């Protein structure tokens, strides 16, 4: 009996089992052709995220009665990862495309390589970030954080505070450590090296010299001193409570610099029995001009005593700690995409607040309102007032000498708004020109007006615009002054009554004149269509990633020719650094064991991707 091959079959001529082995009605699936199209798209779509243990839970929860083998999940997830990140696990080509597109669109991108052509430092700032650094360069925070990628680089987000009191990332830097060179290069590249600006950091050794070189005012985070004070209480016995109280008072209480120096000297003598306590007090003495409120109270810091604003940005990056494990597996492209998305969310929230603020006809944000009301609520405690021309001396105790009054208020200074010499006002400038002078300085102010379909008659400086107003918004808009003058009743029924009364006043003239009728109906139709038309109402355009902005020309420096991955190597990963140290330790341990015993059997451990 002979067989004749009539055609080549590269696939099975029979169908595979739709389901694998079944246990209690649950089928184990081992092959991709046993899956539906939706299952394959789901698993491959989740492959771009570094959450292998969660993929099984999500897939099996959405498809009851179906269980997926480890090998099948790994194959599909790896295929999905390659579809998104490419065959290169470090995605260097995609990373450089993203960064060069940022530079081509007007942003800033710089990097440095070591002798082996390995990336060791990166600086990136988009155009939208640059508008914030240009509008709010008077107070900058920098607080580095580890474990945000699979490399040994440390992330340093530079943060400013906008007129809404919101923290906003205005620049991103990565380096192997917080060294003076990368900090100085970042400040200059981001346009933040402003003479007289406040630069708040932790106790890193790189920051003081940078602040001196850039002529900036350096302020230290008080939280680190607070932790040291609490840790050094041991050994004082009954004096521990007095020690904590005095140290906290030296840092946070309002007093003159002379009083602060005197109390510091007295504290050193009082708690001399404990070396650790004296060490903390000596540290406060050394850095008193950067940490004690007696010295820093007159410096504009947006009322910040610690770097909680910078730390809150790091908290957002790690998504309240839930994204830590995933971030440790990110390459540079994934990390920067994540940071760009965070910045876009910050802009969106700011835009929503601006829209709400303009609708309520407020001239300042809720952040300023809360602080102002807090001061107003305790006004009755400061009832002793002495007026002397344009000067107003306010105190909570009877005034014998006006020079000792806590508040020296100048009612008509040259700036045409009241000012005070107290630390609360000088450090926050509320209510004053610093934060609440005008909301129109916010980079998203035009976007908020566009969303409300109104225009600002005073205009906004081009330096603070994210984008020019569109033609659609200019053709269908009203003046902001006219918009604010319209009284809005609180009741919906009252609004309907007012609207009908307004229409009844013009209905006779419109009905008797065909020209007025045409104008009224044409404007009414445009208004009706504009209610649901986003092109008329305006919207915030987010930052575009390179895969969505293929028409933007890519600019590359002269040093790099061809594909960036052919020349530049990715940074050293934390796992390879640990592995190198582990190999050294393992060899030393093996030598010790070899001297004591022979032929020690070992077991091979199998790496499992899913548990």
DSSP sequence for 533-544: -HHHH--PPPPP
Most confident of 4-18, 92-106, 389-403, 548-562: 92-106
The band of 100, judged by pLDDT with boundaries at 50, 70 and 90, is very high
**pLDDT over 50 at 601, yes or no:** no
- Render pLDDT for 471-496 as a digit per residue (tens, 0 to 9): 444 444 556 666 667 777 878 788 88
Q: Considering the chain, what is the average pLDDT of its residues?
A: 74
Report the share of the chain in percent with pLDDT over 70.
70
Dihedral sign, CA of 276, 277, 283, 286? negative
Contact between 215 and 196 (Cβ < 8 Å)? yes
User: Quick one: the chain helix, strand, coil %, rounded to 5?
Assistant: 50, 10, 40
Contact between 173 and 156 (Cβ < 8 Å)? yes
Phi-psi region of 594 (alpha: psi -120 to 50; beta: other; left: phi over 0): alpha
Least confident of 116-130, 183-197, 361-375, 589-603: 589-603
**pLDDT over 80 at 208, yes or no:** yes
Tokens of residue 353, six digits? 């607040």
Is the pLDDT higher at 192 or at 362?
192
Only one residue has tokens 């002269």, namely 558
**pLDDT over 50 at 274, yes or no:** yes
What's the burial of 580, exposed, middle or buried (CB within 10 Å: 0-12/13-18/19+)?
exposed
The band of 464, judged by pLDDT with boundaries at 50, 70 and 90, is very low
Instruction: Give the 3-state secondary structure of residue 109.
Output: strand
Alpha-carbon distance of 599 to 590, in angstroms, equals 11
- Render pLDDT for 505-538 as a digit per residue (tens, 0 to 9): 888 888 887 767 777 777 777 766 666 554 444 3
- C-alpha distances in angstroms, 275 versus 229, 250, 265, 269? 12, 19, 15, 11
Only one residue has tokens 């035009």, namely 446
Angle at 160 between CA 156 and CA 163, to 5 degrees: 160
Taking CB atoms within 8 Å and a gap of at least 24, the contacts of 223-228 are 223/306, 223/307, 223/308, 225/251, 225/280, 225/283, 225/284, 225/287, 225/291, 226/251, 226/306, 228/280, 228/283
- Render pLDDT for 108-147 as a digit per residue (tens, 0 to 9): 999 988 888 888 899 999 999 999 999 888 889 888 888 8
Over the range 468-479, which residues count as b (16 or more CB within 10 Å of their CB) and which as e? Answer: ebeebbeebbee
Give the mean model confidence (pLDDT) for residues 45-59.
76
Alpha-carbon distance of 302 to 137, in angstroms, equals 12
Shortest CA distance to 345 belongs to which of 543, 163, 164? 543
- C-alpha distances in angstroms, 355 versus 13, 247, 350, 358, 452? 64, 44, 9, 5, 7
The DSSP bridge pattern shows strands 419-420 and 454-455 to be unpaired
CB atoms inside a 10 Å sphere around CB 461: 10
Alpha-carbon distance of 347 to 541, in angstroms, equals 10
Shortest CA distance to 305 belongs to which of 242, 221, 231, 388? 221
The DSSP bridge pattern shows strands 139-142 and 66-68 to be unpaired
Give the mean model confidence (pLDDT) for residues 49-68.
78
The reply to whether omega before 357 is within 30° of 0 (cis) is no
**pLDDT over 70 at 392, yes or no:** yes
Contact between 365 and 350 (Cβ < 8 Å)? no
| Amino acid 48: pLDDT | 74
Dihedral sign, CA of 512, 513, 516, 518? positive
Within 467-537, strands assigned E span 478-479
The domains located in the chain, with CATH, are 22-85 (no CATH), 92-221+307-337 (3.30.420), 223-296 (no CATH), 364-437 (no CATH)
- C-alpha distances in angstroms, 43 versus 19, 85, 332, 337? 18, 15, 23, 21
Least confident of 158-167, 288-297, 388-397, 592-601: 592-601
**pLDDT over 70 at 459, yes or no:** no
| Amino acid 68: pLDDT | 81
CB atoms inside a 10 Å sphere around CB 314: 17
Contact between 395 and 421 (Cβ < 8 Å)? no
**pLDDT over 70 at 467, yes or no:** no
Angle between helices 70-85 and 37-46 (to 10 degrees): 70
Tokens of residue 210, six digits? 């940078």
The count of residues in the chain is 611
Least confident of 24-28, 74-78, 163-167, 488-492: 24-28
CB atoms inside a 10 Å sphere around CB 236: 17
Tokens of residue 180, six digits? 């003076």
φ and ψ at 503, to 5 degrees? -70, -35
CA 500, chain centre distance (Å): 47
DSSP code of residue 16: P
């Amino acid at each position: 009996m002979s067989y004749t091959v009539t055609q080549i079959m590269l696939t099975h001529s029979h169908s595979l089992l739709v389901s694998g082995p079944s246990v209690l009605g649950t089928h184990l699936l081992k092959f991709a052709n046993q899956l539906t199209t939706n299952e394959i798209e789901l698993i491959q779509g989740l492959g771009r995220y570094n959450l292998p243990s969660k993929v099984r839970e999500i897939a099996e929860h959405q498809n009851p009665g179906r269980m997926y083998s480890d090998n099948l999940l790994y194959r599909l997830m790896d295929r999905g990862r390659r579809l998104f990140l490419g065959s290169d696990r470090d995605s260097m080509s995609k990373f450089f495309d993203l960064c060069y597109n940022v530079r081509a669109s007007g942003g800033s991108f710089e990097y440095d390589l070591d002798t082996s052509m390995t990336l060791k430092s990166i600086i990136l700032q988009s155009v939208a970030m640059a508008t914030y650094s240009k509008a709010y360069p008077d107070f900058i925070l920098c607080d580095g954080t580890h474990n945000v990628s699979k490399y040994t680089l440390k992330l340093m987000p530079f943060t400013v505070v906008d007129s809404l009191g919101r923290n906003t990332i205005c620049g991103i830097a990565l380096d192997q450590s917080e060294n003076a060179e990368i900090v100085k290069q970042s400040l200059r590249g981001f346009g933040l090296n402003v003479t007289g600006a406040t630069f708040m950091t932790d106790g890193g050794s790189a920051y003081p010299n940078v602040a001196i070189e850039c002529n900036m005012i350096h302020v230290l985070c008080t939280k680190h001193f607070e932790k040291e004070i609490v840790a050094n209480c041991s050994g004082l016995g009954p004096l521990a409570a007095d020690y904590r109280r005095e140290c906290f008072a030296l840092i946070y209480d309002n007093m003159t610099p002379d009083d602060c120096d005197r109390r510091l000297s007295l504290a050193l003598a009082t708690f001399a029995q404990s070396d650790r306590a004296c060490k903390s007090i000596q540290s406060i003495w050394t850095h008193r001009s950067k940490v004690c409120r007696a010295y820093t109270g007159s410096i504009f810091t947006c009322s910040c005593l610690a770097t909680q604003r910078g730390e809150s940005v790091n908290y957002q990056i790690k998504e309240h700690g839930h994204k830590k494990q995933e971030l440790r597996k990110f390459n540079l492209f994934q990390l920067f995409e994540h940071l760009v998305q965070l910045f876009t969310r910050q802009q969106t929230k700011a835009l929503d607040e601006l829209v709400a603020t303009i609708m309520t006809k407020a001239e300042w944000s809720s952040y300023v309102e809360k602080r102002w009301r807090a001061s107003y609520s305790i006004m009755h405690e400061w009832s002793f007032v002495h007026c002397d021309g344009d000067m107003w001396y306010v105190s909570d105790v009877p005034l014998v000498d006006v020079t000792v009054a806590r508040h020296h208020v100048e009612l008509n200074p040259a700036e045409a708004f009241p000012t005070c010499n107290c630390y609360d006002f000088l450090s926050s400038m509320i209510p004053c020109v610093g934060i609440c002078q005008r909301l129109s300085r916010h980079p998203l102010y035009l976007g908020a007006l566009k969303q409300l379909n109104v225009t600002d008659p005073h205009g906004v400086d081009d330096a603070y615009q994210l984008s020019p107003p569109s033609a659609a918004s200019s053709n269908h808009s009203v003046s902001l002054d006219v918009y604010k003058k319209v009284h809005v009743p609180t009741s919906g029924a009252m609004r309907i009554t007012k609207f009908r009364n307004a229409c009844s006043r013009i209905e006779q003239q419109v009905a008797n004149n065909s020209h007025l009728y045409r104008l009224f109906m044409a404007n009414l139709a445009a208004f009706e269509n504009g209610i649901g038309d986003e092109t008329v109402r305006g919207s915030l355009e987010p930052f575009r990633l390179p895969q969505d902005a293929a028409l933007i020309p890519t600019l590359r420096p002269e040093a790099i020719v061809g594909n960036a991955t052919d020349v530049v190597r990715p940074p050293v990963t934390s796992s390879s650094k640990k592995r190198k140290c582990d190999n050294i330790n393992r060899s030393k341990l093996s030598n010790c064991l070899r001297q004591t015993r022979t032929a020690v059997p070992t077991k091979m451990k199998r790496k499992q991707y899913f548990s």
